């Protein structure tokens, strides 16, 4: 068992934070924000990085990735800005091309290591305002979003992000605004030496407004820089992304949020998303994770803070290689008459590991709650594993709740039917994986995005490794 002191990154962030405080690099920030950072930092120092002894990380052992050293990137007050990425601009451009969704008419917003590349931004839709978080947190009218995070008691990665985040994207949609096109936010992460990047994003969607966002997470040649190569010229640089997004959906507002995660090897991605929903708001999340990154851990927390909300969570994870993909979701029914529905599906290939934990918490006040959850997994290879755990905690009596979880292999009957029509075994398996994923992909409302996701599925379907 590693103690926190044995983890190079722990030392790096502790020293980094102390250095910053001593140098008063945070001095330009409000005293409230500094206090928030300080207390988050204390919590992180206490909790350290999670181990399998922590209930929420029981099946997700990250020790092997914490053996690597990482430099703290883009710290508050530091530069870490766009200029630093000039050298890899070509890689970044290639990554952006990969992230692009064909035939999608959208406003493209490009972020490199969490920093918005404003010069690339086209005209923004009316009623939508974009700022860098660096700007927004200096604005007295907006700084509250950073001073008082949704959860003031978080630990581990979320606490670390609060303590040391530097930049990200701030989105505000005016009340009643109905932007004609979706935003396509492309997050490119890149490093030529081992790096920890901690973006933080805040979206505020005001009353009766609508926002459609597609987020693509890609890496640009992580580890392809000259210094990063070993003596065989093999790339070795690693990047740890610890990203946090807070979304506030005000009453009667609607948010449609699609996330496509396709970062490459040597990427360790921890994405924490907290959504706060107000009265009669609607929030839809579609999350797609594909092979590539070593680790993907998504924490998606939906806090239903007022009544009559509606929430749909759809997820598809396709894991391969030695990959570990972990989806933790929480739907926190605090108030009456809210509806939530969740469907996550997983396809586990090769030696991959999948983890699904779906928590539904129904408070005593949350009468007339409707909460449904389903997790289905297709384990293709004998060496792949899945740990699926639905958790329902219900303290109200007048509720309708259900959950279910399945783990299965290919249906022999279905495979035989397809093969008996002349279709090869591999193609038949591909068709069946697509069919399995279909329940989730068909939920995507934008045809271009659906096609994009289907194309990614086909691209990663095992034809020989199964």
Partner 1 sequence: MLIIKNLHAEVEGKQILKGINLTVGAGEVHAIMGPNGSGKSSLASVLAGKENYEVTEGEVIFQGKNLLEMSPEVRAREGVFLAFQYPIEIPGVSNINFLKTALAEIRTHKGLPPLDAKEFLRLSKEKQKLVEFDAKLVNRSLNEGFSGGEKKRNEIFQLAMLEPALSILDETDSGLDIDALRIVSKGVNKLRSANNAFIIITHYQRLLEYIVPDFVHVLYNGRIVKSGTKELALELEEKGYDWLKEEAHENAPTI
| 40 binding partner 1? (CB under 8 A) | no
- Which CB, 395 or 417, lies closer to partner 1? 417
Distance CA 304, CA 315 (A): 20
Please, are residues 340 and 307 in contact by the beta-carbon 8 Å criterion? no
Question: Between 46 and 85, how does the x/- string for binding to partner 1 read (CB under 8 A)?
Answer: ----------------------------------------
Q: How far is the CB of 457 from partner 1 (least distance, A)?
A: 11
Please, are residues 283 and 311 in contact by the beta-carbon 8 Å criterion? yes
- Which CB, 174 or 439, lies closer to partner 1? 439
- Which CB, 238 or 345, lies closer to partner 1? 345
Distance CA 142, CA 144 (A): 5
Q: Which residues between 148 and 207 bind partner 1 (CB under 8 A)? A: none
Question: Between 402 and 431, how does the x/- string for binding to partner 1 read (CB under 8 A)?
Answer: ---------xxxx-xxxxxxxxxx-xx--x
Q: How far is the CB of 432 from partner 1 (least distance, A)?
A: 7
Q: How far is the CB of 29 from partner 1 (least distance, A)?
A: 51
* 422 C-beta neighbours (distance < 10 Å), count: 7
- Which CB, 85 or 286, lies closer to partner 1? 286
103 three-state secondary structure: coil
Report the residue count for the chain: 466
Q: Which of 229, 394, 405, 438 touches partner 1 by CB under 8 A?
A: 438
- Which CB, 94 or 414, lies closer to partner 1? 414
Distances in Å between the Cα of 410 and the Cα atoms of 185, 407, 415, 416, 433 are 36, 10, 7, 11, 9
The token pair that represents 210 in the structure block: 């609508």
| 387 binding partner 1? (CB under 8 A) | no
| 439 binding partner 1? (CB under 8 A) | yes
- Sign of the dihedral defined by the CA atoms of residues 362, 391, 319, 454, in that order: negative
Q: How far is the CB of 441 from partner 1 (least distance, A)?
A: 9
- Which CB, 227 or 413, lies closer to partner 1? 413
| 437 binding partner 1? (CB under 8 A) | yes
Please, are residues 414 and 383 in contact by the beta-carbon 8 Å criterion? no
Question: Angle formed by the axes of helices 8-23 and 31-47, to 10°?
Answer: 160
Q: Name the region of 280 (left: φ>0; alpha: ψ -120 to 50; beta: rest).
A: left
- Which CB, 405 or 427, lies closer to partner 1? 427
The residues pairing with 132 across neighbouring beta strands, listed in sequence order, are 169
Distance CA 391, CA 105 (A): 39
| 344 binding partner 1? (CB under 8 A) | no
Q: How far is the CB of 317 from partner 1 (least distance, A)?
A: 17
| 436 binding partner 1? (CB under 8 A) | yes
The token pair that represents 343 in the structure block: 């469907």
Please, are residues 112 and 85 in contact by the beta-carbon 8 Å criterion? yes
- Sign of the dihedral defined by the CA atoms of residues 53, 57, 58, 59, in that order: negative
Q: Which residues between 95 and 134 bind partner 1 (CB under 8 A)? A: none
- Which CB, 367 or 427, lies closer to partner 1? 427
Q: How far is the CB of 300 from partner 1 (least distance, A)?
A: 25
- Which CB, 70 or 436, lies closer to partner 1? 436
- Which CB, 335 or 452, lies closer to partner 1? 452
Q: How far is the CB of 381 from partner 1 (least distance, A)?
A: 19
Please, are residues 173 and 281 in contact by the beta-carbon 8 Å criterion? no
Query: Residues touching partner 1: how many (CB under 8 A)?
Result: 24
| 466 binding partner 1? (CB under 8 A) | no
Element (H, E) at 345: strand 339-348
* 417 C-beta neighbours (distance < 10 Å), count: 12
Distance CA 247, CA 283 (A): 10
Q: Which of 82, 218, 255, 432 touches partner 1 by CB under 8 A?
A: 432
Which residues would be at the binding site for partner 1 (CB under 8 A)? 411-414, 416-425, 427-428, 431-432, 434-439
């Amino acid at each position: 068992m590693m103690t926190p002191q044995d983890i190079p990154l722990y030392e790096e962030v502790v020293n980094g934070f102390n250095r910053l405080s001593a140098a008063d690099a945070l001095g330009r920030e409000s005293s409230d924000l500094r206090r928030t950072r300080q207390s988050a930092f204390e919590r992180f120092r206490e909790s350290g990085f999670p181990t399998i002894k922590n209930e929420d990380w029981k099946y997700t052992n990250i020790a092997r990735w914490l053996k690597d050293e990482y430099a703290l990137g883009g710290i508050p007050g530091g530069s870490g800005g766009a200029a630093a990425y000039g050298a890899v601009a070509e890689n970044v451009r290639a990554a952006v091309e990969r992230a692009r969704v064909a035939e999608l008419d959208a406003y493209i917003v490009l972020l490199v290591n969490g920093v918005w590349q404003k010069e690339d931004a086209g005209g923004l839709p009316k009623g939508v305002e974009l700022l860098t978080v660096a700007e927004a947190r200096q604005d007295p009218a907006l700084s509250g979003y950073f001073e008082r995070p949704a959860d003031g008691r978080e630990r581990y990665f979320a606490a670390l992000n609060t303590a040391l985040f530097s930049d990200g994207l701030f989105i505000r949609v005016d009340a009643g605004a109905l932007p004609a096109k979706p935003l396509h936010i492309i997050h490119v992460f890149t490093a030529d030496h081992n790096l920890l990047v901690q973006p933080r994003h805040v979206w505020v969607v005001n009353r009766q407004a609508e926002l459609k966002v597609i987020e693509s997470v890609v890496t640009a040649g992580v580890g392809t820089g000259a210094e990063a190569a070993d003596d065989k010229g093999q790339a070795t640089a690693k990047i740890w992304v610890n990203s946090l997004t807070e979304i506030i959906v005000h009453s009667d507002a609607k948010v449609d949020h699609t996330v496509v995660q396709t970062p490459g090897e040597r990427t360790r991605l921890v994405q924490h998303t907290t959504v706060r929903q107000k009265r009669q708001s609607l929030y839809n999340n579609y999350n797609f994770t594909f092979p590539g990154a070593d680790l993907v851990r998504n924490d998606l927390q939906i806090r239903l803070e007022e009544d009559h909300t509606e929430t749909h969570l759809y997820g598809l994870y396709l894991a391969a290689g030695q990959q570990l993909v972990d989806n933790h979701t929480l739907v926190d029914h605090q108030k009456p008459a809210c509806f939530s529905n969740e469907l996550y599906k997983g396809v586990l290939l090769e030696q991959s590991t999948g983890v699904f934990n779906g928590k539904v918490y129904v408070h005593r006040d949350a009468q007339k709650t409707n909460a449904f959850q389903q997790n289905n997994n297709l384990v293709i290879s004998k060496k792949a594993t899945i740990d699926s755990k639905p958790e329902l905690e219900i303290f109200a009596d007048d509720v309708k709740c259900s959950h279910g979880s399945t783990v299965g292999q290919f249906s022999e009957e279905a495979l035989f039917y397809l093969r008996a029509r002349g279709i090869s075994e591999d193609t038949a398996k591909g068709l069946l994986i697509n069919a399995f994923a279909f329940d989730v992909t068909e939920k995507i409302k934008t045809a271009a995005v659906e096609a994009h996701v289907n194309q990614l599925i086909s691209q990663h379907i095992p034809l020989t490794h199964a």
